[in-house]
Chains A and B, each alone.
Chain A
Amino acid sequence: MTDKGIGARTLRKEDRRFITGKGRYVDDIRMQGQAYAVFVRSPHAHARIGAIGKDAVLGMPGVLGVFTGADVQADGLGSNVCGWNVVSKDGSGMNMAPYPLLCTDKARYVGDRVAMVVAETLDQARDAADALEVDYEPLPAVVDVAKAQDGPVIHDGIAGNLIYDWELGDKAATEAAFQKAAHVTRIELVNNRLAPNALEPRAALGHFDPGTEQHTLYVTSQNPHVHRLVMSAFIGIAPEHKLRVVAPDVGGGFGSKIFIYGEECLVLWASRKLDGVPVKWTADRTEAFLSDAHGRDHVSKAELAIDADGDFLALRVNTKANLGAYMSTFSSCVPTYLYATLLAGQYKTPAIYADVQAYYTNTSPVDAYRGAGRPEASFLIETIVGQAARELGRDPAELRRQNFIPKDAFPYQTPVALTYDTGDYAATLDRALDLSDYKGFEARKRESASRGKLRGIGLSCYIEACGIAPSAVVGSLGAGVGLWESGKVRFSHTGKVQVLTGTHSHGQGHETSFSQLIASKLGVPFEDVEVIHGDTEKTPVGMGTYGSRSLAVGGEAIARSCDKIVAKGRKIAAHLLEAAEADIEFKDGQFTVKGTDRAKSIGEVAFAAYVPHNYPEGVEPGLEEGAFFDPPNFTYPAGTYVCELEVDPDTGTTEILRFVAVDDFGNVVNPMIVEGQVHGGLMQGIGQALLEGAVYDQSGQLVSATYMDYAMPRAWDVPFFEVETGQGTPAQANSLGVKGCGEAGAIGAPAAVINALTDAIGVRVEMPATPEKVWHAIQATRHAQAAE
């Protein structure tokens, strides 16, 4: 019964519908009489909006409505919000400007929503949107975070476009440690802006039922309850009990579908304005590039103080973060609490100080993208440590090992707020060095050199905090919501099980992993479990899926629900078996009287609970239990990645030859799914390192707005990965001992690639390290060497 349970490489139950074309994504849903929305977007990065020629368009064939910011305002709808208040050094709150659903006075980035056209067919809506005349008065724009302070004011009253100026750590202790340093390694780096690129573009279908006044929104969301909360409490689309949000099959998220965007609010609002005509919008890819929240976009300076023995004394970091034209849902916490709190990495560096300035620019909003803050932290630490090793002439693996938090030091309080629960960093390092034949590298390098190629090897010993929660901690840091999770386990008369979860699966395989959990915890056949998620009308209130939290937080809520089921079942079984409750044992789906073979299966107990003809006094009928779990701490996945690559000095082309990933995810429910998560994360990390960049020109046009110009990783950009997840130290924050695995690859990979590349060519190249940049770097190095 448990051969498919926890720890098994159980094949996914959701796959059959996807491989046969029977998945049901938002754009696949068609309601009777549905109309289509098309958004008119600003072609200017910054412009004052004048007259909008609505009337001319309203008469066009099929047009049902044309809506502008004035209409939204007239209807009293509120502004979109960022739900995490980051407080500046001086104690002031962040400068959050209004984030209107449709522009009112100004457009602030290319792609900003200026108007919405609704028509009977998609082509009619496009034709009408094309014909809509808008008067723009273009204004100067700023796109680079480094120039934001001196750029034109984007939001009235926010001088220097500064959102906050925040700090973490002990500045004085850090300064003092630098005074004692024998060596200081300094680095300036860019964490390149990325477009998330879930393959399914965002989509929404809104329907207002005039009879019941119920609002239903089908939307590409990672967290339907968060959508419902923000749309009702802040934007005022509908009261929360009259609003149902459904996120059916969702084609990837990577963070970009956490956030509440104007489009999805507006289609629902438009359905009400149009007396219940369902209104659908589906982004095309260019709209996705323009309007999905981007990720990363940091410029940082960092210094690492090291003593004469090679021990790290202190780390000092300044980061400027680009948050784009408006503050998206969780944008503020990404370059602060999800970033600077991770700057200790795997090291016992005693003093750390970071300060972060976040700015508005005339670009798409920037928010969480796979890893969210932690990739930026990990990249910075692992790059500066790599550089320190080069400067000191130390083996990069040994310098790291020397500075690791030792495995007997847990729980370990870092100087940047977090308490790591468990870990064994030397174990993952050793295993990765073994797997990658680190010792044999020099011979391979010589072989490459004999072919005129430059070979490099690079390490990245990353750490992340995930299982995003705990509520009290995040609340004290400014979060506007709690980050617990809900679960519910419901038996039926016939012993089948429905699992309801507030998390949402958009590729992670929850239907399988959670069924495995039930199979192991309750001894119910894997096939008899149905996992239900993604519908606010079906599932208890939950906070959704991001931050590698679904299993560590949501899974634990389900596990605790199972414990309650067993506790109640024990009472029922004791009655049925005429034994004392204390004598009932539960194992593999059987309630057994201790020391006898008298037993009742959990199915029989469930039947008795629903047909309580012979039933214990004082026990409620039914077998359905729920739990809300708010963990005491984050979880801390960590590991070592080793990248080996070869550079063609003639062209600067980089070829990844091997990529070894050894991760400590604690206990693992489904190794097959976990490895798959790592593969995908690695590819995104490698993409960031070598290929991807969301690039604005100085006028604010997004020049990488299609796949012709945004370099997506393809199958031939990588070899097979070598992934191992078997060396775990179980997490302490949940009974399952699981840590979360969704983001690790994207967090750890960029530094491994860049360190390998630096090893190959002798100089660090900013990401994405395109062939041209690499070639120029090689040329510059050669010129410098020739001049010596």
Chain B
Amino acid sequence: MYAFDYAKPASLDEAARLLADDPEAKALAGGQTYIPTLKQRLAQPTRLVDLAGIPDLATIKEEGDGLAVGAMTTHKAVAASPVVQRAFPELAYLASLIGDPAVRAMGTIGGSVANNDPAADYPVVVLTLDATVRTTKGEHRGSDFFPGMFETALEPDELIREFHIPVPEAAAWEKFRNPASRYALVSVLLVRTKDGEIRCGVGGAGPTCFRATAIEDALRSSFAPEALDGVTIDAGDLNEDIHATAAYRAHLIPVLAKRCVRRMLRR
């Protein structure tokens, strides 16, 4: 690691001010992605602004038709939350599959969404359910929060306060893991919203998460696994690496979506 200064502000506003004052300063949430990045000297911040000292950022509560989840809520807390397990069990399941137990104990939803790793899981939730991202500067819609790989709509000195995640009528999450990192090689979140809309979010496959509209269209006419026979996803924009070609990732998307359909029908 390169040397850096450290600050642990007591409020989100103070944290935002520290970041505004120094464009090279960086916020630290759980650090489960950022600390390995620092260790490999792939980043050189002047200062880390640790958000762990800010009260009330790790809360989970029901709010209207959804869940309000604080930015510093850990994956472990989401997975174990009785509120989440009752209102949106698939979200608890999704959180329980992120990383490993030790990573889940430190990693946070805010950190995951703000980093927008293409293989991360929470961005798919925020996008697919069009969650509201409440920040120090206002609000963002989940549907236009992820412009590209490792990019978000956040400004450098803007911090996430909490997410409002609309709870769907039904949902299923399928993650096909990268055999090495065990991040998502491809992930699919299929939901039926309270309005009856079918949405299919995809992670891991592209530069950033996206909605698979071909799958949504097919399922809208018939919500059955067979409806996805013959549905193909254009591999052109998908990621390719030593673990999977774009074509294979494209193939996996409808396969996982079918599994989601089967699971939703079974419930």
Contact = CB atoms under 8 A, between A and B. Distances in A.
A772 B181 contact: no
Contacts of A126: 41
Given A650-B255, A651-B255, A709 B180 contact: yes
B179 A123 contact: no
B148 to A, nearest CB: 21
Interface stretch (B80-88, B215-223, B237-245): B237-245
B93 interface: no
A695 B2 CA distance: 29
B244 A707 contact: no
Query: What is the predominant secondary structure among interface residues of chain B facing chain A?
Result: loop
Interface in B156-201: 176, 179-183
A710 interface: yes
A709 B182 CA distance: 10
B252 interface: yes
A699 to B, nearest CB: 14
A775 interface: yes
A139 interface: no
A703 interface: yes
Contacts of A419: none
Given A123-B3, A775-B251, A651 B179 contact: no
Given A286-B40, A651-B255, A710 B180 contact: yes
A185 interface: no
Interface string A680-723: 00000000000101010000000110011111101000000000
Contact of A707 (B2, B181, B241, B251): B181
Interface string A128-143: 0010000000000000
A414 B179 CA distance: 41
Contacts of A127: 2-3
A513 to B, nearest CB: 34
A124 to B, nearest CB: 10
A772 B255 CA distance: 13
A691 B176 contact: no
A772 B180 contact: no
Contacts of B252: 651
A279 to B, nearest CB: 22
Contact of B243 (A130, A707, A770): A770
Contact of B242 (A123, A703, A707, A775): A703
Nearest to B119: A708
Contact of A775 (B1, B241, B248): B248
Interface string A760-784: 0000000000111001100000000
Contacts of A709: 180-181, 241-243
A695 B255 contact: no
Interface string A383-405: 00000000000000000000000
Interface residues of B, number: 20
Interface string B22-58: 0000000000000000001100000000000000000
Contacts of A123: 1, 3
A689 to B, nearest CB: 12
Contacts of A712: 180
B248 to A, nearest CB: 4
A356 to B, nearest CB: 28
B176 A772 contact: no
Contacts of B242: 693, 695, 703-704, 709
Contacts of B251: 775
A772 B248 contact: yes
Contacts of A703: 242
B66 to A, nearest CB: 32
Q: Interface centre among A286, A704, A707, A771, by most B CB within 10 Å?
A: A771
Contacts of B181: 707-709
B121 to A, nearest CB: 16
Contacts of A776: 248
A452 to B, nearest CB: 12
Nearest to A126: B41
A126 B245 CA distance: 36
B179 A711 contact: yes
Interface string A115-126: 000000001001
A652 to B, nearest CB: 8
Contacts of B40: 286
Contacts of B255: 650-651
B176 A708 contact: no
B41 A130 contact: yes
B9 to A, nearest CB: 26
A286 B245 CA distance: 24
A703 B248 CA distance: 19
Given A651-B252, A651-B255, A775-B251, A708 B180 contact: yes
13 contacts: A123-B1, A127-B3, A651-B255, A693-B242, A704-B242, A707-B180, A707-B181, A709-B180, A709-B243, A710-B180, A714-B182, A772-B243, A772-B248
Interface of B: 1-3, 40-41, 176, 179-183, 241-245, 248, 251-252, 255
Interface of A: 123, 126-127, 130, 286, 650-651, 691, 693, 695, 703-704, 707-712, 714, 770-772, 775-776
- List 5 A-B pairs, minimum CB-CB distance, nearest first: A711-B180, A711-B179, A708-B181, A772-B248, A650-B255
Given A651-B176, A691-B180, A772-B245, 12 more contacts: A123-B1, A650-B255, A691-B179, A704-B180, A708-B180, A709-B181, A709-B241, A710-B180, A711-B179, A772-B244, A775-B248, A776-B248
